[in-house]
Amino acid sequence: MQKYIETYKQMISLRGLTDHTIISYSTYVNAYLSYLKSILFKLPEDVSWQELRDFIFFIQQQRDLSDRTLNACISQIRFLTLYVLHKSWDPYQLPMRKFDSYLPFVPTKEEVKTFISTMPNLKQKAMIALMYSAGLRIGEVCRLKYEDINRKQMRIHITHGKNRCDRYAILSVAALSILTEYWFSFGKPMNWLFPQQRSCEKPIDTFYLSRHIHAHETRLGWKQRLTCHSFRYPNLYKIQTFLNKHLRSLDWD
């Protein structure tokens, strides 16, 4: 089965995706090939549609996967079928699942102020301040470099954001103040702004902040409702509100 994995990763790599994406895109293909080898005793090209459906039911029960995650699993098997096995894919044989969408918990301005101001660690405080003030994704914060912070023009250069689009974000005075204090206290990092503790050559992992957010909620006696996206949404909401208000004021006649 190893040759299928190697070809699968090679085909994903040809699309220009990052190493992290290649790993995440391979999660359920590995499980699928292991299932074929140990349970069905078949090669991927010999599997029927019914056996594919049986695998989806199997992994759903085994790992208690959500509908959204099952769609990711189906997408990975679809990619394997099309680009590695060179077989056609019939979406009517293995359809994508519908799933419920939920709004994330969005803290109030006062809650955010309390949360950030009471954080004992400057690195975590600086990362959350940037997320909240500039509406950055956690991955964008983790991959910030020293040169991306423009103090003169008070803006942040976001490179390779979602869909590989570069953009600028506003750098607030409050966020810059916390960031500057962090920078002097943590050895003045000149490459990655938030490097890994073990290696300054690599940016910090995205899961680093998530666990510390929950830990601080516990310290404050709050319910664990916050995620990294919770700090990004208030900024996006403010932008959307401004745009809606501006558009309503325009004379379309």
Q: What is the pTM of this model?
A: 0.67
- 40 with 79, same domain: the answer is yes
Identify the CATH number of the domain in which residue 52 sits. Answer: 1.10.150
Summarised one tens digit per residue, pLDDT across range 204-242 is 988 899 899 999 999 999 998 898 888 887 665 554 444
Tokens of residue 59, six digits: 């992994």
- 166 with 123, same domain: the answer is yes
- pLDDT band at residue 181, thresholds of 50, 70 and 90? very high
Question: Tokens 């914060």 appear where?
Answer: 141
Structural domain contains residue 93: no
- Name the maximum alpha-carbon separation found in the chain: 69
The per-residue pLDDT for 141 is 94
Summarised one tens digit per residue, pLDDT across range 81-132 is 999 999 999 999 999 988 777 677 888 889 999 999 999 999 999 999 999 9
Q: How many domains does the chain have?
A: 2
Which residues on adjacent β-strands are paired with residue 77? Answer: none
Q: Which domain holds residue 186?
A: 109-248
Average pLDDT over residues 34-41: 94
Summarised one tens digit per residue, pLDDT across range 126-162 is 999 999 988 899 989 999 999 999 999 999 999 865 6
Structural domain contains residue 183: yes
- 114 with 224, same domain: the answer is yes
Among 83, 101, 132, the domain-final residue is 83
Instruction: Identify which of 131, 103, 143, 109 has the alpha carbon closest to the alpha carbon of residue 210.
Output: 131
Distance (Å, whole) CA 96 – CA 221:
40
